[in-house]
Amino acid sequence: MNRRFWLRFGPVWAPEDGGAAGGDAAAAAAAAAAQAGAGEPPPAKWFEGDLLTADERTWLGAKGLNLDDPLQAIPKLVRGHRSAEQYMGKGVDRIIERPADGQAYAEWARANAAALGLPEAAEGYQITPPESWPKDAQWDTGFETAFRKVAFEEGLPPAAANKLVGLYAEKVKGLADAAEQGYAEANTKMMGELSREYGDQVPVVIARAKQGAQAIAEKAGLDAEALTAVTSRLSRDMGDAQTIRFMAAIGELMGEDSAIGLGKGAGTGLTSTRSQAEQALADFMKPDGEWAKASMNRDPGAIARLRPKFEQLTRAVAALSGK
């Protein structure tokens, strides 16, 4: 071949031309690296690994935070978190989830008892009577215990529990006040009726009614409790005008020894004045009387027979004395 042709291209192929050789080596290395990595996937992005769940990655994408460079996403995440805390006034970790669909409030409240300030047991409810509750009125501790149990089971806040107790107490107090006012009005009406009918003899009529009730109660074998229930209807404070009239008529008849055989016999008639009652009691207890002799001789049979008469006379004196 023509020697001049090869001499023209000599510098290109010359081995001592380091620049040309270096360029060829770099290109060859890049090509080899590309060929070697052609079968491997590219490295995962920071949000594509196991660090986040699929839902969290979806959320990042929806918020535009799935950036290739995590340093660009971090400031946005920090600002969003702080903004949420400032808006809600507390940390995200202290947020209470609302009840699930179909979940009972009591179950949800018990699961969040600490956050809601609920006591750990029914006894933890501090129930106090309202200030308006009368000091001398009895407080139903049994009902209070039952209410505590219900409040605990239903997850009732302590403040609400006390408000409900106060509301119930006011209702009970109102009923008691209404009943007391009703008694007072009825008593005023009763005394007005008796005063129009008997004038200044009303105390005598009431005493006679009590005597009649006591005598009949003794004949009927009623005990002291039953007798008290009967005579309570004959008092100035809680009496009933019709009942007082009825029992006074019986007492008057018995005083005349004419009430269907009751009160017959010497010394068994009822008295209508305090002096008569005191005289009858004095006659009964005179030293030479049966009561004194029975007591002196300690005769249980005679004492048992005479005691009803003794008690009748002492009650008559007490009734006519206004006691």
3-state SS of 264-282 is CCCCCCCCCCHHHHHHHHH
The partner residues of 259 in beta bridges, in order of sequence, read: 262
CB 212 within 8 A of CB 195: no
DSSP-assigned letter for residue 139? P
3-state SS of 118-137 is CCCCHHHCCCCCCCCCCCCC
Per-residue pLDDT of the chain (323 residues; tens, 9 = 90+): 445 444 444 444 444 554 555 456 656 655 655 555 555 677 888 888 788 898 988 988 898 888 888 888 888 888 888 887 777 666 555 667 888 899 999 999 998 888 888 999 999 999 988 888 888 888 889 999 999 999 999 999 999 999 999 999 998 888 888 888 887 787 788 778 878 877 888 787 777 777 777 777 777 777 777 777 777 666 665 566 777 777 777 766 665 443 333 443 334 445 556 777 778 788 888 888 888 888 888 887 777 778 777 777 777 777 666 54
Helix, strand, coil proportions of the chain in percent (round to 5)? 65, 0, 35
* Domain positions in the chain: 200-320
The residue length of the chain stands at 323
The pLDDT, as a whole number, for residue 25 is 61
Kindly give the interhelix angle for 241-255 and 202-220, rounded to the nearest 10 degrees.
70
Express each pLDDT in 10-20 by its tens digit. Answer: 444 444 554 55
Express each pLDDT in 15-44 by its tens digit. Answer: 455 455 545 665 665 565 555 555 567 788
The pLDDT, as a whole number, for residue 29 is 58
The pLDDT, as a whole number, for residue 13 is 44
pTM above 0.85, yes or no: no
Name 179's Cβ contacts closer than 8 Å, sequence gap at least 6.
none
The pLDDT, as a whole number, for residue 50 is 83
